[in-house]
Amino acid sequence: MRDGSVTASVDILVVEDDPDELDMTLRALRTACAGSAVSVARDGFEALLFIFCEGAYSTRDIRATPRLILLDLALPKVDGFEVLRRLKGDPRTSTIPVVILTSSREYRDIAEGYDAGANSYIVKPVDFQLFVGAVQSLGTYWLSLNQPRQ
């Protein structure tokens, strides 16, 4: 797994602002998806810059979209719902699978996430081993089994 902000090809973009939860997510990805190219955005604004190849990410090719985005909802600058709406509202990025990975079990958050175009909504397990299992299942499904639109 390569962890960095600018890569030619990205398998997974993790959008997470909490350093502890980001660390847990990256450790789980190292365990479950070894060899996958992983990039990180630490707030919603950075995620949009990365996805749409703007600002510091202007040298990225927008056609090299992530194969999967793991998106937290409670983000600074631009929240996860807005990131999701912009992503799904643009034909260049609308088919990227987005899994909301959050602590919120609120019905309104789940409904709004799906209404905005989320492909899946997962509440982060508190136990690390359960979390690794959930991330492993995500990686297997979205990176190996799922057939993306060409």
DSSP sequence for 8-72: SS-SEEEE---HHHHHHHHHHHHHHSTT-EEEEESSHHHHHHHHTT-GGGTTS-TTS--SEEEE-
2-137: CATH topology is Rossmann fold (3.40.50)
Please answer whether residues 34 and 1 qualify as being in contact, where contact means their C-beta atoms are separated by less than 8 angstroms: yes
CA 47/CA 49 separation, integer angstroms: 5
pLDDT at res. 53: 94
Please answer whether residues 11 and 143 qualify as being in contact, where contact means their C-beta atoms are separated by less than 8 angstroms: yes
pTM to 2 decimal places: 0.88
Low-confidence ranges of the chain (pLDDT < 50): 1-7
Collapsing DSSP to helix, strand or coil, 99 comes out as: strand
Residue written as token pair 């699978």: 97
pLDDT at res. 8: 52
CA 23/CA 111 separation, integer angstroms: 28
Residue written as token pair 């987005």: 98
Cα distances (Å, whole numbers) of residue 97 to 12, 55, 75, 128: 10, 23, 19, 24
pLDDT at res. 87: 96
pLDDT at res. 27: 83
Collapsing DSSP to helix, strand or coil, 4 comes out as: strand
pLDDT at res. 150: 62
- In one-letter notation, the amino acid at residue 10 is V
